[in-house]
Structure formats: structure tokens, C-alpha cells
């Protein structure tokens, strides 16, 4: 009996597990425009037209690919544990690695709440929380709205609501959403600790607190490469964020970690133009981050990060800023000026730091502005702490290799501050040419115009080369050995060949693309003929005819005496004293 049932049971278990694994790796496709397909999600051709249907049919381990386009929602989206939802596909890809995510509205999958609907609601139970294996990646969330109505257990979350939910949120743009209370962009509470990477939260407005993110009740999110700009808390605290405890119970605070986050151009009616912190156990940590050019009606001292009295002591002891540029914070010893590893904000302007800073006002939350780092005398460049990304710190960020725009996260000697790494714009050469006589043994001099869009950069360490070819089109062109300066003396090998000058423009930090001049033909060196044994014949007497004679020599074979010019001179004696041409 035992020998009979035991192997049968093992076979059943193995088959069951295999079936579950296979079932758990299903890939489903969604395309709002796939009207002619089977609408079963099995391929792009037969894609679901409704994202909700794809989620309903998915389970732990499944992934959902959503094509670019505008999806106007009639019901909020509810994610599932272990289900990964990826947007912004062109509609031909079979794997995530083939997706080209443009990070713009026009090049993305847009979830539109149409001004009346919460977009993403993850309202989980305490005994069934959502984990990081639930993924939302590659979407624009806009037009969402939260309105207080009837009985409710939370106070906001127009674009994304998280309760007992800690999903992975990445490659998102959360813009132009509205909350009648708090957290127009993201509202999280009840031990929600999502991971936010490469996220833009801009132009959102909360009627009370936190235009971008409201968090409380032991929320511990990890935010990396995040931009919060142009958000507005029109009636309360924290233009971008409010970091809170549990319904004013001070000892149940939130502890988010911000690395390379930019918070700028936000507005609040009350304290905390950028961020407002409340609760004795609410201790945010900011690393490699910029909080600059936010405004509050309470004045400059409350424009950056404001702390309610009950939170100050714990935050002062925790040293919440490391390698940051913070403007307008109200902690004792806060780095309004240089303190420890932080950068002095004294005299620093948003125009000095950002390419095109634009700020929100009471009546204008905004998505305008360009918050990439500006070239030149920018204190945020190379001012960060690179080891945050090498695995040696208490938070592993080794998987993050790029900045918010997709450029290298560490582009130079050290990581920069803020969501964007300054990517050196390489110089460009134009009008490349050369001057000089195109004959052997003559010197040629290369010339070019140097251009660089980075303010303050100068031409430095450009690389030069000279090329020799068989004809004017550059056939069989090769670099001339040793010809690496801006000048070149033509050699015998260049005779009857064609030469060109090439420059790879440099700015001391990198080189632009090489640009080559046109090829031009090199002629042989012209060796003039010589005259020897010059003398005169005839009778040296007035009225007599004299004739000049000479021997003509030329090293060029085949040349003949042609076009020689003659002159006669008169002098006072045989030494030529006072000689003049007759």
C-alpha cells in the first residue's frame, strides 16, 4: 500500500507545482484600441481593451503589458499581490527589455480619472498587506480626484491610495490630480512602505495638506530619483509633502528615506512650503537631495521643511540631512548654511541650480519647468555621496544605475544632488578646414569652430588627426602616423595624394564626435631652375651690342628654359658700387 500510493502522491505534487508555476507566469496584454481582436489578453492582437479585466484574470507571478494610449477610467484600478503591471509599450514587444519608455505624457500609457475618480486604490486589510512584488511601472496618472463624502476612513489619495500596501512604483508621472482633503498625488497610511523610483509628481493640488504625498501611521517608503515640483497645499501644510504620525498620536510616526530627491517650486498656505513634519517619532531622512525654492505664506523660514514642535527634538538628534542642499528649514542647526556634509544654500538661487525653475502659487499648481541641473557654477554637481549606491550603506540601492531621465546616476567624480544627474553635453565642431600651400614640405594649419551648450565650458584637450587618401572622396583614407597636432608639414608620401584635417572637440571632461574636413590634393614641391656661369659677350664700347649668356639647369626632368626674365645693370666700378637697373 505504501509503495503504491507514495510515488503516486509525489507525481501528483510535482505536476501540481509545475502547473501552478506555469500558470503563475502568464503574460497578459492590454490595448484600448484593440477592437478587432478576441479581447482575451493572449497577445497584442487579442489584447484586453480594459485593464480591469486583465487584473481580474491575473494572479501572483503574472505580468500585464499595457499599450500606450489614454485609458479613461470609470472605476478605480486595484492591483494584486505579485502582479506586475507595465505600461507604455508600442504594441509589438514580447519582453520588458524591448520597451522604450519615453518619460513623457505623449509617449506613455495614461490613466485618466477624468476629474472625478480616484485612480489607484490599494485599500488592503492589516492581515493581508500588499508587498513589493506588486509592481506599477510606466504610467502617467492624471485627472484623478478625491472628494470627501459620507463615511470614510481615509482623508485623501486622488491618484494613488495606499493602506497596508507597499508596492513597487517606478517610472511614473503623477500630474494634475486634486484632493478635497490631503495627498492629491499619493496618500499612504497604516504601515504602507512602497518603493518609489524614477517618479515625477507635479502640478497636483490638495485643498488641505500635501499636494504631492501625504503619509502617516508608520509609513516607511523609500524614494529614489523622485521629483516633486509645482504642487500646492492651498489650505494647509506641506506644499509637496506632509509626513505625519497616527491621527496626532505622536509616537506612531513615519520614517521615509529620500535619496536623490528634488523638492522644488511647491506652495503651502501654512508651514512647510516643501515638507511639513509632525509627530515625535516621525523622522524622515534626506540624502543627496535638494529642497529649494518652495514658498509658504508663513514666510521664508517656513518655506522648505517645517517641523511641528513635537517633532523637533527627535529630528535634531537624528541629523536628518546628509549631503543635501536645503533652503528654508526650521531645525536648530539645520543646513540653511553649510553644516557637516551638507551644502550651503546661502545665496543659492533656483536659477543657478536648475535649467528652468518654475514655482507653484496659491491658484496655480504647475507642471511647467525643467529641473535638470544647470551647467556652470552649480553647487549641486558632484556634491553627493556615491557610496549610497555601492551596497555599503544600510539601504541597498545597487540596482539603481540611472537618474530620473535615464542618464548615468554617477556621471562624474561623485554623484550629484537631486533627481537628475548633470550629464555633460559634449562639444560640437563645425566649419572644419585647413589653410596652407598644398605642396610637399609646406605647413598646413587646421581650423574649426567649437561650440558647447554647457555654460562655462571651454575648449580643452581636443584631439587632432590628419588623413591621407587616394582621391577627393576619401577612398582608402588612413590616419597619418604621428600627425596629431593642429599643424602638419606635408611629406613626400603625400605627393599626388589627398589630405584632410579631423578634430574631436574636447571640453576637458569629454569629447564630441569627430568632424573631418574635405580632402584636397597635394602637389609636388616646386624647385625653380638655376642659372650658372652667367656672363656677357661683345665689345665693351659705346654703340656696341652685348649679349648675356648662361647655363640653365632644372632638376625636373623634361623642363625647358621658358619665360626667363633678364635685366642689365650699370655700376660705378667692378665691385658693383652704386649699381642700378638700366
Query: Which of 454, 376, 388, 381 lies closest to 418, judged by CA?
Result: 381
Cα 171 versus chain centre, distance: 13
Q: Give the pLDDT score at 327.
A: 86
* Residues with pLDDT less than 50, the chain: 1-24, 334-338
Q: Give the pLDDT score at 340.
A: 66
Helices H, strands E: what count in the chain?
A: 4, 40
CA distance 198 to 88: 15
Q: Tell me whether strands 275-277 and 295-296 are parallel, antiparallel or unpaired.
A: unpaired
Residue 541: which residues within 8 A CB-CB, separation 6 or more? Answer: none
For the chain, report the end-to-end CA distance as a whole number of angstroms: 139
Q: Give the pLDDT score at 93.
A: 96
Q: Give the pLDDT score at 554.
A: 82
Query: What SS3 state is found at 309?
Result: helix
Instruction: Classify residue 106 as exposed, middle or buried by CB count within 10 Å of its CB (0-12, 13-18, 19+).
Output: exposed
Q: Give the pLDDT score at 21.
A: 38
Query: What SS3 state is found at 313?
Result: helix
**C-alpha cell of residue 527:** 624647385
Q: Give the pLDDT score at 528.
A: 82
CA distance 415 to 341: 14
Looking at the DSSP bridge assignments, the partners of residue 182 are 156
Q: Give the pLDDT score at 413.
A: 85
Contact between residue 194 and residue 221 where contact means Cβ atoms under 8 Å apart: yes
Query: What SS3 state is found at 157?
Result: coil
Cα 137 versus chain centre, distance: 18
Q: Give the pLDDT score at 296.
A: 95
Contact between residue 203 and residue 228 where contact means Cβ atoms under 8 Å apart: no
Q: Give the pLDDT score at 332.
A: 60
CA distance 271 to 331: 13
Q: Give the pLDDT score at 18.
A: 34
Q: Give the pLDDT score at 250.
A: 52
Instruction: Classify residue 547 as exposed, middle or buried by CB count within 10 Å of its CB (0-12, 13-18, 19+).
Output: exposed
Q: Give the pLDDT score at 543.
A: 86
Q: Tell me whether strands 290-292 and 257-264 are parallel, antiparallel or unpaired.
A: parallel
Ramachandran class of 399: left when φ > 0, alpha when ψ lies in -120 to 50, beta otherwise: alpha
**C-alpha cell of residue 440:** 610637399
* DSSP secondary structure letters along 85-138: EEEEE-S--SSGGG-----SGGGSEEEEEEEEE--EEEE-BTTB-B-TTSEEEE
CA distance 221 to 225: 13
The single-letter DSSP state of residue 460 is: B
Q: Give the pLDDT score at 520.
A: 97
Q: How far is CA 291 from CA 183, 261, 323, 329, 352, in A?
A: 19, 8, 12, 9, 14
Cα 88 versus chain centre, distance: 19
How many other β-carbons are positioned within 10 Å of the β-carbon of residue 336? 19
Query: Which of 343, 329, 220, 344 lies closest to 275, judged by CA?
Result: 329
**C-alpha cell of residue 414:** 561623485
Amino acid at each position: 500500500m505504501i509503495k503504491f500510493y507514495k510515488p503516486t502522491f509525489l507525481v501528483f505534487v510535482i505536476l501540481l507545482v509545475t502547473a501552478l508555476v506555469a500558470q503563475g507566469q502568464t503574460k497578459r496584454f492590454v490595448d484600448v484600441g484593440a477592437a478587432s481582436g478576441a479581447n482575451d489578453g493572449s497577445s497584442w492582437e487579442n489584447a484586453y481593451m480594459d485593464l480591469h479585466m486583465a487584473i481580474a484574470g491575473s494572479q501572483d507571478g503574472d505580468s500585464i503589458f499595457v499599450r500606450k494610449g489614454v485609458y479613461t477610467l470609470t472605476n478605480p484600478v486595484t492591483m494584486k499581490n505579485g502582479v506586475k503591471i507595465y505600461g507604455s509599450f508600442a504594441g509589438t514587444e514580447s519582453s520588458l527589455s524591448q520597451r522604450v519608455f519615453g518619460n513623457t505624457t505623449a509617449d506613455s500609457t495614461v490613466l485618466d480619472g477624468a476629474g472625478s475618480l480616484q485612480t489607484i486604490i490599494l485599500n488592503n486589510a492589516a492581515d493581508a498587506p500588499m508587498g513589493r512584488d506588486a509592481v506599477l511601472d510606466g504610467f502617467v496618472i492624471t485627472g484623478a480626484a478625491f472628494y470627501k463624502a459620507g463615511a470614510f476612513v481615509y482623508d485623501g489619495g486622488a491618484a494613488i491610495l495606499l493602506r497596508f500596501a507597499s508596492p513597487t512604483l517606478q517610472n511614473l508621472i503623477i500630474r494634475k490630480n486634486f484632493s478635497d482633503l490631503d495627498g492629491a498625488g499619493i496618500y499612504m497610511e497604516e504601515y504602507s512602505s512602497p518603493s518609489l523610483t524614477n517618479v515625477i509628481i507635479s502640478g497636483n493640488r490638495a485643498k488641505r495638506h500635501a499636494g504631492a504625498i501625504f503619509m502617516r501611521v508608520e509609513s516607511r517608503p523609500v524614494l529614489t530619483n523622485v521629483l516633486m515640483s509645482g504642487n500646492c497645499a492651498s489650505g494647509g501644510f506641506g506644499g509637496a509633502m506632509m509626513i505625519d504620525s497616527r491621527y496626532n498620536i505622536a509616537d506612531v510616526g513615519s520614517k521615509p528615506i529620500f535619496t536623490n530627491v528634488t523638492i522644488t517650486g511647491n506652495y503651502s498656505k501654512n508651514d512647510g512650503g516643501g515638507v511639513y513634519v509632525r509627530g515625535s517619532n516621525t523622522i524622515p531622512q534626506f540624502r543627496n537631495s535638494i529642497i529649494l525654492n518652495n514658498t509658504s505664506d508663513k514666510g521664508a523660514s517656513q518655506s522648505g521643511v517645517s517641523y511641528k514642535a513635537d517633532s523637533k527634538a527627535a529630528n535634531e538628534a537624528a541629523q536628518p540631512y546628509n549631503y543635501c542642499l536645503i533652503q528654508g528649514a526650521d531645525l536648530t542647526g539645520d543646513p540653511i548654511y553649510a553644516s557637516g556634509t551638507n551644502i550651503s544654500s546661502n545665496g543659492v538661487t533656483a536659477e543657478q541650480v536648475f535649467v528652468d525653475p518654475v514655482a507653484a502659487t496659491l491658484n496655480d499648481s504647475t507642471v511647467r519647468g525643467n529641473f535638470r541641473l544647470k551647467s556652470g557654477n552649480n553647487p549641486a554637481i558632484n556634491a553627493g555621496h556615491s557610496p549610497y549606491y555601492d551596497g555599503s550603506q544600510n539601504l541597498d540601492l545597487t540596482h539603481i544605475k540611472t537618474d530620473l531621465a535615464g542618464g548615468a546616476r554617477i556621471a562624474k567624480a561623485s554623484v550629484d544632488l537631486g533627481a537628475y544627474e548633470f550629464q555633460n553635453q559634449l562639444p560640437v565642431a563645425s566649419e572644419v578646414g585647413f589653410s596652407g600651400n598644398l605642396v610637399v614640405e609646406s605647413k598646413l594649419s587646421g581650423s574649426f569652430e567649437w561650440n558647447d551648450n554647457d555654460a562655462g565650458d571651454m575648449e580643452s584637450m581636443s584631439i587632432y588627426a590628419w588623413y591621407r587618401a587616394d582621391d577627393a572622396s576619401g577612398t582608402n583614407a588612413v590616419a597619418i602616423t604621428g600627425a596629431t597636432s593642429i599643424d602638419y608639414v606635408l611629406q613626400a608620401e603625400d605627393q599626388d595624394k589627398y589630405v584632410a584635417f579631423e578634430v574631436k572637440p574636447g571640453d576637458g571632461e569629454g569629447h564630441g564626435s569627430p568632424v573631418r574636413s574635405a580632402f584636397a590634393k597635394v602637389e609636388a614641391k616646386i624647385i625653380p631652375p638655376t642659372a650658372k656661369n652667367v656672363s656677357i659677350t661683345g665689345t665693351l664700347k659705346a654703340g656696341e651690342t652685348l649679349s648675356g649668356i648662361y647655363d640653365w639647369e632644372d632638376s625636373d626632368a623634361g623642363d625647358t628654359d621658358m619665360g626667363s626674365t633678364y635685366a642689365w645693370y650699370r655700376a660705378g666700378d667692378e665691385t658693383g658700387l652704386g649699381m642700378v637697373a638700366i
